[in-house]
Structures are given as C-alpha cells and as structure tokens.
Amino acid sequence: MIKKIPYLFAVMTLLSSCGGGTPLSDSTSKEPIKVTDMIGREVTIDVKGDYRVVCLGAGALRLYSYVGNLDLLCGVEDIDNPEKSFMWQSTSRPYFDAYKDKFKNLPSCGLGGPNAQAPEFEKILECRPNIIISEFEDVAIANDIQEKVGVPVVTLKYGKQTVFDPLVEQSIELLGTIFHTTDRSKALVSYIDAARTDLGNRTKDVKEEDKPSLYLGCLGNYGVQDIYMSCVNYPIFKASNIKNVLDDKGLNPGFQKMDKEFLTTLDADKIILDASGISVFKTTYEEDKEFFDNLKAFKNNEVYLQMPYNAYYTNLETALMDAYFDASVAYPKQFKDLDMENKYNEILETFVGKRCYDEVKAKPASYGGFQKIDFTTFFD
C-alpha cells in the first residue's frame, strides 16, 4: 500500500484552520498596496473602510469564493444568482452550489455568461463597489472599467492547464494578498501542489509496457461536444503519467476533433467520456451502435464517465476530482487504498468548504457521477 504524503496531511490541517472556502479577511482599511495583476497592469489598492467587491467575467467569482470573504460581495452576475440562472443549474458548479444562498439576495452587477462579453457599467455602478475582480483578460477593458467606475480593477487568469496551471495558483495567491487571506490562499495552492505530487508519485514507476492506452471523448469546448472531441497533451492525464492514445500521433497540443475512421485506428484500451457531451453522444451511439460496440474499449466494458469541469470556466475542484478518477481508471492498483468518494468529498471541502459530492453527482448533467458505464442500461 502506498503511504500518504505527510505534507498533504499538513496542508489539510492548515486548510481546516482557515475555514475551508469562506475565510474571513481583514476588511478594514490598510496602507495602500500595489499589485501587478495577471495581465501585467500595476494596480494601486487604497480602500478606506470595508471592501465592497464585485466579480466580473467567467470564473472571477469562483476564484474569489475560494479565498475571499463572501460577506464583502456587494453584487453578483445573474448567472451566479440561483433565482435568475435556471438554465445553468443542471450542471454542477460547486462554488455556486455551496454559496448560492449567499448570492441570491445580492443585486445584479451584470448578466454574465457566454452571451455577456462586456461589462455592464450601469449595473456595476449601482452596486457601489470599491474594488473589482475581473476575468476579462484584456488590458483595454480593465482600464476602461477602472476609468468609468473609478475603483481599482484586478484581472485574474486561469490559463489552459485546468487545475494544474501556474496562472491559477498565481491568481489565487494574488487574491490572498489583496484581501489579507494569505494563509488560506497559500494553503490552497499547497494542496493543489501536494495532490499533483501524490498523483505523480503513485504512477511514476508504472512501466511503459504496462500502461493501457486511454482516449478521452466528449470534452466540452465552446459548448457540448460528441465523442470525437478530445485533447492532445491533456493536462489531467499528464499529471498521472497516463498514456494518452493521441500523444504520439503528431497532432498539435490542445483540443482536437477526430473523425470516425481515425477513432477506429486508435482503438484505445480504455475510453473516458466527459459527462458534458453525453447528451450528444447518446444520439451518435444509438445511430451507429454496432460501430461503437466493436471498439476494443466498448467490447471489454472499459468505458468510463468523468464529471464536466467546464461551466463558466474551469471548476478547479471538479478538474482535480477528474484527475484522481482518471488515474484510478488507468492504474486501479495504484489507487486501491483510496476511498474515492471520500477523496472527492475531501477535495470539495478543501475548495468550497462543503462535502457535497452527493449533490454534484445528483445534478442531471452529471448522470450519476463517476462510474464505469454499462451501456445496456445507461441511456435508459
């Protein structure tokens, strides 16, 4: 049995002491500070009295909720208000699921969502913020907001490596500096790093000839996608030394759309489908059931379901849960000591302060949570 990393235990202890997901920041006035945000702008923060915070753009509120005091929010986008975002509630966003009762009584600072690609100044001004956290990754937009609202604007970044992107960690630490929650932000970054180390250590000694080939399908990319949408150099696979069947095919890194013939030539040992595209794949499967049932992974009952992590940008905790699930699919012996549902709840509690995996898997778009798919009953 693989021993647990002592460092990970220490990080969990520190996170518990920080309150998990809703830390209290020292919101009283401080000496002015200067920070460089994630798009290279130098921002002076000189807030008198309590902070009044709004978060604008995809994923800004999520990152803030991981390390900031939610009592300081003075408005939220409609997409984060449970009484205004009904169409989004079939898919889990754990920060929203955990804190929606706090969000529902706050005024609107804009519509939010994929159809709102610009700030709504009238609504922002009505919220009377004295600091704005933005995910509009554009210098001109950030400067325009700062000029028109007259308060500091700090822009964050997620990057392209899901939960393992250095830009994610830098954004979390930047928020900790601004809102005086550095213990919480550093502990969260340390937890991510410790999880990545754990995944790597468990799988680093698997011999190349013993690695099954895996294919990932239905990965969301600008909307729901079919089984033919996959990813070369998939960061979640990389973290656990998983043999991605696409990585030695001379393809460019990132999202790639396969065709039916190419999928046949790949014939991966195991296939993982992202739940975000299952509704599309249902039609594809039923129209050509014989084709899919003849693929090696389908014939050997080696098709699995991972949770969708792209919903108004990356749900970091869901991506980390996917990392553990995918690694356990590829290398079950290396993860046999883990109670996986307990691990999912630990990750959720670390990020959003709530052991809510039952709630996550109960969402219609989760299709019952992490699982091996039994196609004789799954689509029923």
Per-residue pLDDT of the chain (380 residues; tens, 9 = 90+): 333 444 454 455 445 444 455 555 544 556 899 999 999 999 999 998 899 999 999 999 999 999 999 999 999 999 999 999 887 888 899 999 999 999 999 999 999 988 778 999 999 999 999 999 999 999 999 999 999 999 999 999 999 999 999 999 999 999 999 999 999 999 999 999 999 999 999 999 999 999 999 999 999 877 789 999 999 999 999 999 999 999 999 999 999 999 999 999 999 999 999 999 999 999 999 999 999 999 999 999 999 999 999 999 999 999 999 999 999 999 999 999 999 999 999 999 999 999 999 999 999 999 999 999 999 999 98
Q: What is the mean pLDDT of the chain?
A: 92
Identify whether residues 87 and 168 lie together within a single domain: yes
Question: Would residue 194 count as lying in a domain?
Answer: no
Identify whether residues 31 and 101 lie together within a single domain: yes
Identify whether residues 146 and 32 lie together within a single domain: yes
Question: Would residue 196 count as lying in a domain?
Answer: no
Question: Would residue 285 count as lying in a domain?
Answer: yes
Identify whether residues 250 and 354 lie together within a single domain: yes
Whole-model pTM: value is: 0.93
In whole angstroms, what is the distance from residue 351 CA to residue 325 CA?
17
CATH number at residue 140: 3.40.50.1980
How far, rounded to the nearest angstrom, does the alpha carbon of residue 214 sit from its chain's CA centroid?
Answer: 21
Cβ-count burial 235-274 (b if 16+ within 10 Å, e if not): bbbbbbbbbbbbbeeeeeeebbebeeeebeebebbbbbbb
In whole angstroms, what is the distance from residue 50 CA to residue 29 CA?
7
Question: Would residue 380 count as lying in a domain?
Answer: no
Per-residue pLDDT of 304-337, as tens digits, reads 999 999 999 999 999 999 999 999 999 999 999 9
Give the start-end residues of each E strand in the chain. Answer: 33-36, 42-45, 53-56, 131-134, 153-155, 213-217, 229-232, 243-244, 254-257, 270-274, 303-306, 371-372
Question: Would residue 189 count as lying in a domain?
Answer: no
Identify whether residues 252 and 341 lie together within a single domain: yes
Per-residue pLDDT of 268-312, as tens digits, reads 999 999 999 999 999 999 999 999 999 999 999 999 999 999 999
Identify the domain containing residue 360 by its residue range. 207-372
Question: Would residue 322 count as lying in a domain?
Answer: yes
Burial class of residue 106, CB neighbours in 10 A (0-12, 13-18, 19+) = middle
**C-alpha to C-alpha distances, 117 to 39, 110, 112, 138, 191, nearest whole angstrom:** 17, 10, 8, 11, 32
When divided into structural domains, the chain yields a total of: 2
Question: Would residue 188 count as lying in a domain?
Answer: no
State phi, psi for 300 to the nearest 5 degrees. Answer: -95, 10
Question: Would residue 309 count as lying in a domain?
Answer: yes
Give the start-end residues of each E strand in 229-353. Answer: 229-232, 243-244, 254-257, 270-274, 303-306
